[in-house]
Structure 1
Amino acid sequence: MVFSIPENLHPELMPLAWLIGTWRGKGRCEYPNIEGFEFAQEVSFNQDGQDHLNYFSRTWVIDSNSEIVKPYDSEVGYWRLRDKEVLEVVLSHNSGTNEGWLGLIRGPKIQLAMDKAYESPSKKAIDSGSRLYGLVEGQLFTSLDVGKDGHDLQAYMWSSLERAG
């Protein structure tokens, strides 16, 4: 899939331009006290000329035939770059939690660590987290490690996504 940089892209977002578009694929979730499962994922990054990317991700539990069984999670947010390599990300989840993330971008590789979390009265936020996004052989690789429910930071979800046409 050929990618072109949007004409109205804010200059500060050039290091993130490779993310813009919609990505789809599959992944895996495993964590203590959770029965592991495969999932389908769609991630979209878009922009409107301002100094941030708009972000939307949703996942669905799938069966062994890759058929959707049920929705799993969705999150929306904004990605803002500072000083050409420091990334600030704010996310809001359909479960009622919100998170602030800080990280670095080095070419087509992004590493984020959770800075702060807000939990709604009915949902507990994760205690710690790290995220990785990288362009690997034309695919967007993502991973999310979390610490929650008394468990240390460890692998939780990972996926490999292809750019949609």
Structure 2
Amino acid sequence: MTDRDRQHPYPDALRPDAAPAPHELLVPVAGLLGTWVGTGTGGYPTLDEDFAYAQEVTFSHDGRPFLHYEARAWLIDADGAPFRPAARESGWWRLKPEGAIEALVTQPTGITEILVGRVEDGAIDLTTHTVALAPTAKNVEATRRRYTPVDGDTLDFVHDLAAVGHRLQHHLSARLRREDGK
């Protein structure tokens, strides 16, 4: 056994730091892999005013038919400087045959969503299947999320929300650019 084997007991293809090839079911969404950053605007009837925000979204995989999803957002001032965290969520997108997607998304505010949808021509449309709420979480009834590639390095994001007694309506939109060149 070599020193390297003692440090890394996994076969090369299974090492935690290895970059495996994407599973064949990931092919329709492989263009999402990497980190996307940008800015957007948001609003909702329960808020006093609309707001600007910065967002970072990362999609990764480990060779299985799942995407790991992580998103972070910060409120930004008129100069584009972040002044406080606005949202954070993470989860998994389970890719199924024929472009079907089941997504599990959890937020630290006590909201967990299961969304279903599909990818068609590179665009992803996900809608609520189920929402689970912690006892003190804001009442979220439904969401819809759309990710639309504009070109290889630009991704438009739109998020609709039905919460605290309001119907499903526009909440967020952002234009994200690929950060890491993948």
Fold shared per TM-score above 0.5: yes
1:24-78 alpha-carbon deviations (Å, 9 max, x no partner): 0001111102121000000000011111010000000000000111001000000
> What's 1:3 paired with?
none
**Structure 2 counterparts to residues 15-164 of structure 1, below 5 A:** 15-34=28-47, 35-137=49-151, 138-164=153-179
Per-residue deviation, 1:7: 5.1
Q: Which has the higher strand share?
A: 1
Between the aligned partners of 2:74 and 2:117, the Cα distance in structure 1 is 27
Per-residue deviation, 1:17: 0.2
| TM-score normalised by the chain length of structure 1 | 0.93
Per-residue deviation, 1:124: 2.6
1:120-158 alpha-carbon deviations (Å, 9 max, x no partner): 111134111111101013311001001111111100011
Between the aligned partners of 2:140 and 2:159, the Cα distance in structure 1 is 11
Q: Which amino acid aligns with 1:26?
A: T
Between the aligned partners of 2:82 and 2:134, the Cα distance in structure 1 is 28
The change in CA–CA distance for 1:15 and 1:126 in structure 2 (over 3 A counts) is same
| TM-score normalised by the chain length of structure 2 | 0.85
Contact 1:15 1:84 in 2 (8 A): no
Contact 1:103 1:112 in 2 (8 A): yes
Q: What SS class does the counterpart of residue 38 from structure 2 fall into?
A: strand
Between the aligned partners of 1:8 and 1:136, the Cα distance in structure 2 is 25
Percent of aligned pairs with the same amino acid: 32
How many pairs were matched up? 160
Please say which structure displays the higher CA radius of gyration.
2
Contact 1:118 1:125 in 2 (8 A): no
Q: Which amino acid aligns with 1:36?
A: D
Contact 2:123 2:149 in 1 (8 A): yes
Q: Which has the higher helix share?
A: 2
- 1:10 has 2:23 as partner: yes
Between the aligned partners of 2:109 and 2:20, the Cα distance in structure 1 is 36
Contact 1:111 1:130 in 2 (8 A): yes
